Chain A
Amino acid sequence: MVEILRPASAEETRQAVAWAAAEGKPLEIVGAGTKRAFGHAVAAEHHLELAALSGIIAYEPAELVLTAHAATPLCEIEAALARSRQQLAFEPPDLGPLLGAAAESATLGGVLAANLSGPRRILAGAARDHALGLAMVSGRGELVKAGGKVVKNVTGYDVTKLMCGSWGTLGVMTELSVKVLPAPERTRTVLVAGLDADAAAACMGRALSSPNEVSGAAFLPAALAARSAVSYVAGAGASITALRIEGPPISVGARNAALRGLCGGLGEVEELHSHNSAAFWRELRDAAPVAADAGAVWRLSVPPAAGAGVLAALAATGGEGWLDWGGGLIWWSCPATLPASSIVRVAAEAAGGHATLVRADDALKREVAVFHPQPAGRAALSRRVREGFDPKGILNPGRMGWPGLMGQQT
């Protein structure tokens, strides 16, 4: 029987963790629970549900900083920002539907704990680049704060970054300050139809090496483009290479023309405007093209110029996928088998990158590490870092790998 603890304040959170540490009781940390299927199962009789730690604490648009309780729903934050024509520039994905959970329920703490960033990451940086400061409860049951509420800060170690992508294994975040930025006045997406992956990669590389501030660069093979809800994309009957530009109208117009000049000769060109452009990039952001596939879904982070080659190597799994981040991010859907998994890991590693098993059944996750296995030295260092925060190993034990180790089998 799972017992659920629902603290209503940072102090109650501290009490719960201090109790768990004293009793050696593991806790599974849950915000909205939309990403519970991401990562390894946590063996815990107690859930620490943080939903009550919700609400925006401070937001002054001219300061470009927002502070909120950790379990504040992202959609609440994004709505507040939109009222002041601002946004979270890292374009947080909503992986709820991909992972079989509710849409539009993810929390600020959850998206930062997973360090998830959308297509704009190539221009605006990752989730971790927007996290400025936090309050948390360490696995020692102590309230700890780090960072600040200003955009520029070198005062002590950047613990806030360390917490991003740590999946609740170091501490329980209770309050977060994030950098926010103006939302663009206008968006355009230039589509080039019919390129193969290599030509698409060359086109994206040229665009990203130009001074046109491209805020999205993706390549969808024809079969995946056909699944888009955006008719221009679905109806192309060919692969789609997409380049997004955002900003003041006059600037978007000029850059749109420049990009058409750079890539226009390669294939048929179309443009997506506001609503369609937003819908298209939301699909990619949330991995919608493969959400309905059966089987495993992977996310590979590789040097951008290697993307097309990795995509070709992945074909041996019998799966399908696309390039984002100008080739630096690959979403890949394939059968949930050991041989396919090993092809994915080898392909990522050969390019100098890494692969994360975002979605898979428990059977595969018993055999394959969700997070990319690390060299022994770095894994040991990470384990020592963890022991400094959570010496009893009570916070989300096993979530990032087999007990106590990061992506390494014991």
Chain B
Amino acid sequence: MSIAMPLPDAEVLAGRDGFIAALSRVVPGEGVIADEKGLRTYECDGLAAYRALPLAVVLPETVEQVAAVMALAGTHKVKVVPRGSGTGLSGGALPLTDGIVLGLGKFNRILEIDYANRCVTVQPGVSNLAISQAVSAAGFYYAPDPSSQIACSIGGNVAENSGGVHCLKYGVTTNNLLGLEIVLMSGEVIRLGGKQFDSDGYDLLGILTGSEGLLGVVTEVTVRILPKPSSVQALLLGFADVVDAGDCVARIIAAGIIPAGLEMMDKPAVKAAEDYCHAGYPLDVEALLICELDGPAAEVSELVDRVEAIARESSATVLRRSQSEEERQRFWLGRKSAFPAVGRISPDYYCIDGTIPRGQLAHVLARMRELSAEYGLGVVNVFHAGDGNLHPLILYDAAREGDLEKTEGLAGAILRLCVEVGGVLSGEHGIGIEKRDLMGAMFTEDDLKQQQRIKCAFDPAGLLNPGKVFPVLHRCAELGAMHVHHGKVPFPDLPRF
């Protein structure tokens, strides 16, 4: 394991039995798991290369129980790792050996569907897809659609600010969220936002979203729902050169078109997907674009024409438009099964998640090929081209000595490349532990300390999911200190009026 976690608190480990007994009084019955076999289920999230057994797992059913668990943990200096469905890809729900995992799986009810205000209030353990399903018959849906949407929980979506293939047009979680109920480490319950568009005061809703479980435990979520578009059509566009494909993406956007989805796959990804699910993808292209347009029927058919014309100008060698819903689904089939498809051609793969300015695509892909050769590991690329979010999949074999370390080295090099060209380390998977030690590539020590001061406001003792996101842990007392020098000439170069 190349990512070091904070040293466990020996006192907490020694007091385990007493703490578990106290925990069982707060959440009685089967709500506390402490046997090794039971704990194994929770030893990792979607970043399976990292595993640890927690002190215990607690599965509360009410917000009062969550509050009591948090307060109890706070009193005993026991760390808390919140967990939704455990589908996260950056290790945000990796257990700590001296901490409990607080699972929200029993918070699985849809509390209110409010069509008049076009919003839905749910408990955090409800899956992303279940929200859309619950309102589908009335003609609505919840827009963010991460590829794990069958399984991933809405609470986890809030923690990671999840996106999906439709977020260029419809935004990510933070743009579709109206209200939250959270529990602080102190056990205090705070409500943010509501059913109105804008929340008042500081945008704490905004800071909670994407905070990776470090600020509070989400116990209730209110999201906006949107009317389903009346018509959807997709184009499948193949290119003999990645540069042409990148050019086509830039031209579509420069023409004032914001597609509902704009996805790219490189040649190895196309081949893996085609071998896996026979979607009918052309195999003689270097890059494949799927461009989906939605809206009123008249608009969609006009925009499909325009995109097709742009694709011709960009030297597309393959041009297909979906003639039926069945065909549209088939266009997506390969893209949506890209990960399992890659799983079949390699014993293991490692998915990364940087975002780059779209204009840098060709450069980044070329440089990635060089890095891939340098490290001796294959890389397959699927890419949310519309918003610049890359998902390179590094092919490796965990059973082979040193492969995982090499993979992490290559992943780090690719992510640093993303930052170098003006991008960021994570588009939608979060930092967690996976990219934690790369934060310095993007932020200065002052930047990171300022972010950690936000955590101090929510969790002054640093017990909620510590060791994630930030490479260096600072105590809040240290972060609060201010070093100032009195009596100096204040700002000699500053013009005064």
What does the 1/0 interface line of B287-331 toward A look like (CB < 8 Å)? 000000001111100110000000000000000000000000000
- Rounded to whole Å, the gap between the CB of B16 and the closest CB of chain A is 31
Is the Cβ of B299 less than 8 Å from the Cβ of A254? yes
- Rounded to whole Å, the gap between the CB of A205 and the closest CB of chain B is 6
| Interface residues on chain A, number (Cβ under 8 Å) | 109
Q: How many B residues touch the partner, as a band?
A: 35 or more
Chain A contacts of B496 at CB under 8 A? Answer: 3-6
Is the Cβ of A19 less than 8 Å from the Cβ of B491? yes
Chain B contacts of A341 at CB under 8 A? Answer: none
What does the 1/0 interface line of B165-179 toward A look like (CB < 8 Å)? 001100110110000
Q: Does A230 contact B (CB under 8 A)?
A: no
**Of residues A5, A164, A170, which shows the largest number of chain B Cβ atoms within 10 Å of its Cβ?**
A5
Known: A209-B227, A248-B302. A158 touches B484 (CB 8 A): no
Q: What is the total of A-B residue contacts with beta carbons within 8 Å?
A: 312
Is the Cβ of B453 less than 8 Å from the Cβ of A389? yes
Chain B contacts of A321 at CB under 8 A? Answer: none
Is the Cβ of B451 less than 8 Å from the Cβ of A157? yes
What does the 1/0 interface line of A133-148 toward B look like (CB < 8 Å)? 0000010111111101
Is the Cβ of B359 less than 8 Å from the Cβ of A356? no
Chain B contacts of A226 at CB under 8 A? Answer: none
Is the Cβ of B298 less than 8 Å from the Cβ of A158? no
Q: Does B10 contact A (CB under 8 A)?
A: no
Q: Does B161 contact A (CB under 8 A)?
A: yes
Known: A303-B117, A354-B200, A385-B457. A62 touches B250 (CB 8 A): yes
Is the Cβ of A155 less than 8 Å from the Cβ of B254? no
What does the 1/0 interface line of B10-30 toward A look like (CB < 8 Å)? 000000000000000000000
Report Cα–Cα, A164/B204, bound state, in Å.
Answer: 11
Is the Cβ of B295 less than 8 Å from the Cβ of A161? no
Known: A211-B296, A382-B201. A152 touches B302 (CB 8 A): no
Cβ 8 A contact of B200, one of A84, A145, A149, A301: A301
Report Cα–Cα, A84/B388, bound state, in Å.
Answer: 20
- Rounded to whole Å, the gap between the CB of A129 and the closest CB of chain B is 5
Instruction: Name the residue on A nearest B476 (C-beta).
Output: A388
Main secondary structure of the interface of A (DSSP, over half): mixed
Chain B contacts of A387 at CB under 8 A? Answer: 457, 480
Q: Does A342 contact B (CB under 8 A)?
A: no
Report Cα–Cα, A86/B227, bound state, in Å.
Answer: 25
Is the Cβ of A22 less than 8 Å from the Cβ of B490? yes
Cβ 8 A contact of A154, one of B204, B210, B258, B297: B210
Known: A143-B446, A157-B210. A162 touches B203 (CB 8 A): yes
Report Cα–Cα, A170/B202, bound state, in Å.
Answer: 10
B-to-A contact residues, CB < 8 Å: 114-119, 139-140, 160-161, 163, 167-168, 171-172, 174-175, 184, 188-192, 194-198, 200-204, 206-207, 209-212, 215, 227-230, 250-251, 253-254, 256-258, 295-299, 302-303, 355-359, 384, 387-389, 422-431, 435, 439, 442-444, 446-448, 450-451, 453-454, 456-458, 469, 479-480, 482, 484-486, 488, 490-491, 493-497
3 closest cross-chain pairs (CB), A and B: A161-B206, A251-B299, A388-B453
Given A150-B357, A156-B443, A250-B298, output 19 extra A-B contacts at Cβ < 8 Å: A3-B496, A60-B359, A62-B253, A126-B198, A128-B203, A128-B206, A145-B444, A146-B450, A151-B355, A158-B211, A182-B257, A209-B118, A211-B296, A254-B296, A258-B296, A306-B117, A329-B197, A372-B200, A377-B190
